[in-house]
Amino acid sequence: MIPMFATNSLTEVPAFASWAQGMPQIANATSISNSPWLYSALTQVREIEWEGELIPGLGDLRIAVQTAMRVRKLLSSVEIGGLAAPVVAPVSGGGLSIVWSLGMKEVKLSVEPGGDAVAFKIADDEIVPNGATDITTPTALSEHLTWMLDPRT
Amino acid sequence: MPPASDDASISGDSVVLRVLHPKWVTTKGGRERPTSDSLLDSNYENSCFLEGEISLAELQVLFIGRKIARIPVSLLRAEGFWLERRPGEAPDGCTRPSSHLVCGPPDAPVRGIYEAKARRIVRALGIEILPGLPRPDPEVLEQANPNQE
């Protein structure tokens, strides 16, 4: 008999849930079952945090604990379902970038090593006019993502 | 630190080679290109190598498995990036440390401006992505060196 819930992704969620419970910064996190993209995003952040290294000739891909924590807090505060999993990439020098894509639109969240964050609205591979915003509250990031999901914009 | 000077010995028709992290490659409109993240360093100093002063084959061996972007220097300078040689920051084993340089905007612009500059560079059609050498199969390596731990 084939178990009903036998996919890798679902069998891995409990492992994630166990370490997520140990992180006070995402204690009030959006539920992963409501936002499946969050699981992928947090896992990618974790991988970069663990595997980032200084590679002479390429860059310093290590990220600080506080940078990863800031990203986790921001991601976990987004209460928007229906997003595809973003691509989380290291930025040389200790930063991170998170990119959500939908058709010809993207939202890019750029987080500096010190924790400062900027979000960009991107359409047809170009930053839209006045599309860069300092992210000081989770609401600002959600506003960008809502723009991406809205077919009228 | 951003480049302190723009090296006049690097001519405008030169090309630099930027080694890429796997997540710094994207496909847009059917064309593979580097992402803007490949040219965004928090300290405004992106490592590159000057084509012609180091062989592509050596870079492919030093950074096995990694793709490499060929970026015309003219594109970098058009966006105000400077190029400074930094032989002391070349990777171990590099036979031509003087071919290693960093590029970036000297005035350390705010993030939005830096992102826009990097994005204009990577979108240019003059950029080409070269494949990396395949990583050797661990089983093949073990068979070739049976006594190695």
User: Residue A132: in which H helix or E strand, if any?
Assistant: strand A126-134
**pLDDT score recorded for residue A24:** 53
What is the secondary structure of A67-131 as a DSSP string? HHHHHHHHHHT----SPPPPEEEEETTTEEEEEEEETTEEEEEEE-TTS-EEEEEEETTEEEEEE
pLDDT greater than 60 at residue A96: yes
Interchain CB contact of B119 with A (< 8 Å): yes
Q: What is the pTM of this model?
A: 0.84
* Residues on chain A touching B89 (C-beta within 8 angstroms): 56-57
For residue B38, what pLDDT band results from cuts at 50, 70 and 90?
A: very high
Nearest residue on chain B to A133, alpha-carbon basis: B112
What is the three-class DSSP state of B142? helix
Q: Each residue of B97-106: pLDDT tens digit?
A: 999 999 999 9
Q: What is residue A21's predicted lDDT score, i.e. its pLDDT?
A: 53
CB-count exposure of residue B66 (10 Å: 0-12, 13-18, 19+): buried
pLDDT of residue B21 exceeding 90: yes
Tell me how far apart the alpha carbons of residues B112 and B114 are, in angstroms, rounded to a whole number.
Answer: 5
Report the gap between the CA of B79 and the closest CA in chain A (Å): 16
pLDDT band at A98 (very low <50, low <70, confident <90, very high): very high
Domain that holds residue A21: 8-149
Q: Flag if A89 and B91 touch (Cβ within 8 Å).
A: no
Residue A103: inside a domain, yes or no? Answer: yes
Do the chains contact at A127 and B23, CB–CB below 8 Å?
A: no
Provide mean pLDDT across the span A96-100: 97
* CB pair distance less than 8 Å for B41 and A92: yes
Question: For residue B73, which of B62, B85, B55 has the smallest C-alpha distance?
Answer: B85
Could you tell me if B66 lies within 8 Å of chain A, comparing CB atoms?
yes
CB pairs under 8 A between A and B: 80
Phi and psi for A145 in degrees, rounded to 5? -65, -35
Q: With respect to residue A3, please indicate whether it lies within any of the assigned structural domains.
A: no
Q: Provide CB contacts within 8 A for A76, sequence distance 6+.
A: A25, A26, A28, A29, A30, A38, A42
Residue A30 has pLDDT above 80, yes or no: no
Look at residue A59 and tell me if it is in a domain.
yes
Domain count, chain A: 1
Tokens read off for B46: 């992106």
Mean of pLDDT over chain A: 83
